[in-house]
Amino acid sequence: MIKTSLKLALGLILISFVVSCDNMNSQDENSDVVSNEENDTLSNDPFRPNFHFTPKEKWMNDPNGLVYQNGKYHLFFQHYPDSTVWGPMHWGHAVSKDLLTWEEKPIALYPDSLGYIFSGSAVIDKNNTAGFGEDAMIAIFTYHDPEGEKAKSDKFQTQGIAYSLDEGKTWTKYKGNPVIENPGIRDFRDPKVFWNEDLQKWQMLLAAKDHIEIFQSEDLKDWQKLSDFNFPDNPELGVWECPDLFELQVQGTGEKKWVMIVSHGGESSPNGGSGTRYFVGEFDGQKFTTDQDESQWLDYGTDNYAGVTFNNTPEGRRILIGWMSNWNYATTTPTKGWRSAMTLPRELYLVQTEDGYNLNTNVIDEIARVSESIAMDTEKSDNVMSINSDELSNSIVSFEIVSPDGVEFSLNNSAGNKFTMGYKGNNFYTNRTNSGLVDFNEKFTNTEPQKVQIGNLDTLKVKLFIDKSSVEIFLNDGNYAMTNLVYPETPWQVLKIVTNEDTRINNVKIRKVNLELLDKK
């Protein structure tokens, strides 16, 4: 492994950047040194997730290099191992056999003389096209040169590669880096590479300020630019980042379409802050085109960003993981010794609707194997149903609402905190204004309530994945998703559903995520 030089570690740490997917929008007062007391609280932090991946300690943001090899899923991630706020980026590393139980490994990629290691992807070179070895795991990433940025150059981001011949345990950086120089675009990053079986070539998407550039290579070293893709946004949505491109079969048909995913910084998302949208269209091996005339969003909550999908998955499954945070407040969330978690892995499905194509997202089916039904104490009076369970902060809750207009439901605890959700006037909404700790950053609640227009429905199916400091919401089998961080002062204990005279609540189920089963997987 290549170690961070003393000059890089000490001399460049204080530089501030304006990037987004690989960005630090603000610093906080956290020390780079974790005290013994803080170490003791790492595993006992009331906000540390039960069943979402989070690093053992320090800072994490974007998922990187998602790839499958020899029975294991590899999750690399943007990581700063010396602080709980953003700093010189490394690639952290974790592996899993089931996408749910993760084992954190030593850091994979360290900064070097070419810069910090920003976001990117990983592939398995089965045919040894690069000459590093058959089945080499190859990482493709952005080099971010802080000295070049400080000198106000527009060419401080370039693309590099590294390879591993032992399933990601040790890495060698290519001596010919960078493999793609910067043509003079300030935001030029986040390469997503995939093998195009039809063309028998590697293809790359690269985020370039306000558009996506598509490249092609036979050996992962020499790249040729093919085309650009942009979209006539008015107003503009901020810098384009963390792209992905893949083909999906439309559910229930023989039709196939290509899907492009792009994340955006600034205040681009429907409910404020950073967000991720997608385009459905055609890709001829050279250009991507779409007939869409408006944005479609992967998640309508504020806390699912920079999501990308795994390469080389068994049976061609298309599985995405996102960073469960938002640049508006990511560096100030009230956790101790660690910061940030990933979303649960979600499988993507393409569905045709009256309005076009919808990219449905659902948590992977494997979650059912590590969950079990639990007893719940249910109380009913007039138009109120209260479901009591001490396992609510470690649960999967599902129910159906018939005639849902006007229904409101909430998570409640003994501290009087409340996280509210509901459906009214064609809109589903959430509100975390009174959900617990909210004053750590004014932007945490400045767009509450959050809303998504889902139309006039006779029946609404709701599925909630509730962890200590997050709620992932899926509506009508993943037609819509909303992901929100919450920081309740005590664990959730009561799910309260308030209905109107015409509303019926059916098929209420609560399952506990069994941590012992997770440990055994």
> Per DSSP, what are the bridge partners of residue 77?
63, 92
62 is catalytic: yes
The C-alpha atoms of residue 34 and residue 41 are separated, in whole angstroms, by: 10
**Phi and psi torsions of 86, nearest 5°:** -55, 140
Residue 241, token pair as written in the block = 């980042």
**Phi and psi torsions of 454, nearest 5°:** -120, 5
DSSP letters spanning 419-488: EEEEEETTEEEEE-TTSS--TT-GGGSTTPSEEEE----SEEEEEEEEETTEEEEEETTTTEEEEEE---
Q: Which amino acid, residue 322?
A: G
Helix (H, G, I), strand (E, B) or coil at 368: helix
DSSP run (H or E) holding 411 = strand 408-412
DSSP run (H or E) holding 8 = helix 6-11
In the set 62, 125, 190, 244, the catalytic residue is 62
Q: Is the dihedral of CA 187, 192, 193, 195 positive or negative?
A: negative
Specify the length of the chain in residues: 521
Q: Which residues are catalytic?
A: 62
